[in-house]
């Protein structure tokens, strides 16, 4: 009984020549063989990479004398080694020959072992019941809206439109700005149904601000891949027309963007998991392809005569081989006085106010801050509260002013420091109460924002966190607050 071992359409196929039963049919790049067994014992032993070995039945060993090629010619040791090297992409790293499943020479680590990469979601969105206003906000004709109106949840999908008036433009974007991680791949993924693809509209989706990003753009029937950047205050775009042959954009398709970045890497666009266009930047640029690799997920539509809907299922941004909390640096802001506290009277006194700036050095700020811990203390029983707002008028500075933290992406104010005639005041009606608790006298209360990895609290650009305290009866007390966080650098 012989076994026919051959490659058919990039799969390793093993067939019993007597019964014609196919015993294995698996992508060839998932298979390696034991070189030592072949040379020393004339036995061909195949293995499947990693966990697939437990799921795919394969022959435990085929005597070389029973192995034939696609022409039913018996293999010799030399001819089988040649077959394996040509078809199984074998590595020379060890006698038990590994498959190099990468398509470049850096697919193995420094010891010659295959690298394994796992995707990890940095940020995702779903629209099953609504468009969550805690995660997304909408801009119509450049103006941020108090509530979301042109983006709705219909039958579990995001229904997105530009607006009924000619030249109306609507953008829906995340507060968060998922950041590329150096030396890791970046993957954007979504699914879309685009009504009337040839409508007189510009419709875009991907990850971008007005200054930088990468995305799909449908311009009145023609689909492009776009890379946007800003250099010396001038914003430009590279566009490549994507191959949509045989693709009906009005039906449900999956869209992906994968890029290397490192400042000068390639960008590739996929529809239904097939490549439809690419920017081959490697070895060609004299400037970075995209100056800022931290950009929000966004959807945008512009009415140029039509107002047809785009529908989206879900959307995801993942790092290929990276970590969700990679690249952050620790910071904290507390009481600067020698006593480590400030004297207050009244209720909901703003002890510490921290703002993540909307712009830095004239450019859009996309640096998110991960809240870690806040500590509060007082010399009498007191109430501690955390508030959040994006309304700068919630705080009246009076005789106080903002102070930059670190390199100036964050700024803060500590109540009555330095000592001034009229400290800042806080209008609680313009902020949302996030957290509150009672603080015992002379005991520090600390609350974590990490929740054992189950969720995270981010302070995104334009977010203002206000930490207030007051004595239970509103009379005088000495109090203090310390806010700890991690900045994305």
Q: Last residue of some domain: 57, 76, 107?
A: 107
Ramachandran sector of residue 186 (left: φ over 0; alpha: ψ -120 to 50; beta: rest): beta
Residue 461 placed within a domain: yes
My answer on whether 82 and 128 are in the same domain is: no
Instruction: Tell me, rounded to whole angstroms, the distance of Cα 304 from its chain centroid.
Output: 31
φ, ψ dihedrals at 463, nearest 5°? -70, 135
Look up residue 322 and give its two tokens: 């990276």
Average pLDDT over residues 55-64: 66
My answer on whether 228 and 276 are in the same domain is: yes
CA separation for the pair 368, 366 (Å, rounded): 6
My answer on whether 143 and 283 are in the same domain is: yes
How many structural domains is the chain composed of? 3
Least confident interval from 106-115, 150-159, 376-385, 399-408: 106-115
Residues 203/214, Cβ–Cβ less than 8 Å:
no
Residue 306 placed within a domain: yes
- Give rounded-to-5 percent helix, strand, coil for the chain: 10, 50, 45
- pLDDT value at residue 39: 77
My answer on whether 191 and 42 are in the same domain is: no
At a CB cut-off of 8 Å and minimum separation 6, what does 115 contact?
102, 107, 108, 109
Burial of 62 (0-12, 13-18, 19+ CB in 10 A): buried
pLDDT-based confidence at 33, cuts 50/70/90? confident
CA separation for the pair 103, 312 (Å, rounded): 33
pLDDT at 42 over 90: no
Residue 30 placed within a domain: yes
Look up residue 95 and give its two tokens: 């006698």
pLDDT-based confidence at 59, cuts 50/70/90? low
My answer on whether 184 and 266 are in the same domain is: yes
State the DSSP H helix or E strand holding residue 36, giving kind and residue range, or none if neither.
Answer: helix 35-41
pLDDT-based confidence at 52, cuts 50/70/90? very low
pLDDT at 147 over 80: yes
Residue 376 placed within a domain: yes
- pLDDT value at residue 95: 43
φ, ψ dihedrals at 38, nearest 5°? -65, -45
Identify the CATH number of the domain in which residue 433 sits.
2.60.120
Burial of 467 (0-12, 13-18, 19+ CB in 10 A): buried
Q: Last residue of some domain: 107, 127, 152?
A: 107
pLDDT-based confidence at 109, cuts 50/70/90? low
Residue 113 placed within a domain: no
Residue 173 placed within a domain: yes
Average pLDDT over residues 77-95: 69
Neighbour count for residue 159 (Cβ, 10 Å):
18
**How many CA atoms does the CB half-sphere of 179 hold within 13 Å?**
18
* Percent over 90 (pLDDT), the chain: 72
Average pLDDT over residues 128-132: 96
My answer on whether 299 and 334 are in the same domain is: no
Average pLDDT over residues 3-15: 91
Look up residue 317 and give its two tokens: 């941004």
CA separation for the pair 341, 333 (Å, rounded): 13
Q: Which structural domain, as residue segments, surrounds residue 423?
A: 328-488
CA separation for the pair 322, 69 (Å, rounded): 42
pLDDT at 91 over 80: no
| Strand-pair category, 157-160 with 119-126 | unpaired
Nearest to 95 by CA among 36, 154, 23: 36
Nearest to 467 by CA among 440, 433, 441: 433
pLDDT-based confidence at 87, cuts 50/70/90? confident
CA separation for the pair 213, 206 (Å, rounded): 8
- pLDDT value at residue 113: 65
Residue 114 placed within a domain: no
Average pLDDT over residues 366-372: 95
Q: pLDDT digit string (tens) for 247-285?
A: 999 999 999 999 988 999 999 999 999 999 999 999 999
Nearest to 213 by CA among 179, 184, 256, 170: 179
My answer on whether 125 and 190 are in the same domain is: yes
Identify the CATH number of the domain in which residue 312 sits.
2.60.120.200
pLDDT at 204 over 50: yes
User: pTM above the 0.85 mark?
Assistant: no
Least confident interval from 60-69, 269-278, 409-418: 60-69
pLDDT-based confidence at 45, cuts 50/70/90? confident
My answer on whether 316 and 334 are in the same domain is: no
**How many CA atoms does the CB half-sphere of 26 hold within 13 Å?**
18
Average pLDDT over residues 381-408: 97
My answer on whether 230 and 344 are in the same domain is: no
Q: Last residue of some domain: 72, 107, 142?
A: 107
My answer on whether 188 and 308 are in the same domain is: yes
Least confident interval from 46-50, 158-162, 434-438: 46-50
pLDDT-based confidence at 191, cuts 50/70/90? very high
Q: What is the residue-wise DSSP string for 374-414? A: EEEEESS-EEEEEEEES-GGGEE-TT---EEETTTTEEEEE
Long-range contacts of 246-254 (CB under 8 A, 24+ apart): 247/271, 247/272, 247/276, 249/192, 249/194, 249/197, 249/218, 249/223, 250/193, 250/194, 250/195, 250/196, 250/197, 251/193, 252/191, 252/192, 252/193, 252/313, 253/191, 253/192, 253/193, 254/189, 254/190, 254/191
My answer on whether 341 and 415 are in the same domain is: yes
My answer on whether 88 and 167 are in the same domain is: no
CA separation for the pair 115, 387 (Å, rounded): 45
Q: pLDDT digit string (tens) for 348-367?
A: 999 999 999 999 999 999 99
């Amino acid at each position: 009984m012989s076994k026919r071992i051959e490659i058919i359409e990039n799969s390793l196929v093993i067939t019993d020549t007597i019964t014609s039963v196919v015993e294995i049919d698996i992508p060839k790049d998932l298979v390696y063989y034991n070189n030592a067994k072949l040379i020393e014992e004339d036995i061909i032993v195949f293995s499947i990479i990693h966990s697939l070995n437990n799921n795919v039945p394969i022959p435990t060993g085929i005597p070389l004398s029973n192995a034939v090629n696609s022409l039913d010619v018996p293999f010799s040791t030399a001819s089988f080694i040649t077959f394996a090297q040509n078809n199984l992409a074998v590595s020379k790293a060890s006698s038990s020959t590994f498959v190099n499943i990468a398509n470049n020479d850096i697919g193995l680590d420094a010891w010659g072992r295959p690298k394994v990469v796992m995707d990890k979601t940095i940020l995702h969105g779903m629209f099953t019941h609504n468009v969550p206003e805690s995660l997304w906000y909408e801009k119509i004709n450049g103006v941020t809206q108090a509530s979301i109106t042109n983006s709705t949840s219909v039958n579990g999908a995001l229904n997105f439109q530009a607006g009924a008036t000619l030249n109306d433009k609507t953008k829906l974007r995340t507060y968060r700005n998922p950041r590329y991680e150096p030396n890791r791949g970046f993957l954007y993924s979504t699914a879309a149904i685009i009504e009337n693809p040839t409508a007189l509209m510009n419709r875009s989706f991907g990850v971008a601000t007005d200054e930088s990003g990468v995305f799909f753009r449908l311009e009145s029937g023609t689909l492009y891949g776009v890379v946007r950047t800003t250099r010396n205050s001038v914003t430009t775009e590279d566009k490549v027309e994507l191959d949509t042959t045989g693709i009906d954009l009005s039906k449900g398709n999956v869209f992906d963007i994968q890029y290397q970045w490192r400042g000068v890497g390639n960008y590739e666009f996929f529809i239904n998991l097939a490549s439809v266009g690419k920017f081959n930047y490697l070895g060609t640029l004299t400037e970075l392809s995209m100056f800022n690799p931290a950009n929000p997920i966004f959807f945008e539509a512009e009415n140029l005569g039509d107002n047809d809907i785009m529908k989206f299922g879900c959307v995801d941004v993942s790092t290929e081989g990276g970590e969700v909390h990679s690249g952050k640096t620790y910071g904290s802001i507390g009481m600067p006085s020698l006593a480590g506290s400030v004297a207050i009277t009244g209720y909901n006194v703003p002890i510490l106010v921290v703002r993540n700036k909307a712009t830095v050095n004239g450019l859009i700020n996309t640096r998110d801050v991960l809240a870690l811990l806040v500590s509060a203390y007082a010399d009498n029983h007191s109430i501690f509260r955390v508030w959040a707002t994006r309304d700068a008028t919630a705080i009246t500075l009076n005789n106080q002013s903002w102070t930059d933290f670190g390199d100036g992406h964050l700024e803060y104010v500590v109540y009555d420091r330095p000592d001034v005639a009229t400290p800042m005041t806080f209008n609680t009606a313009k902020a949302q109460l996030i957290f509150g608790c009672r603080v015992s006298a002379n005991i520090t209360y600390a609350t974590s924002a990490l929740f054992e990895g189950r969720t995270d609290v981010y302070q995104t650009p334009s977010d203002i966190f206000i930490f207030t305290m007051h004595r239970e009866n509103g009379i005088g007390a000495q109090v203090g607050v310390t806010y700890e966080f991690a900045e994305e650098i």
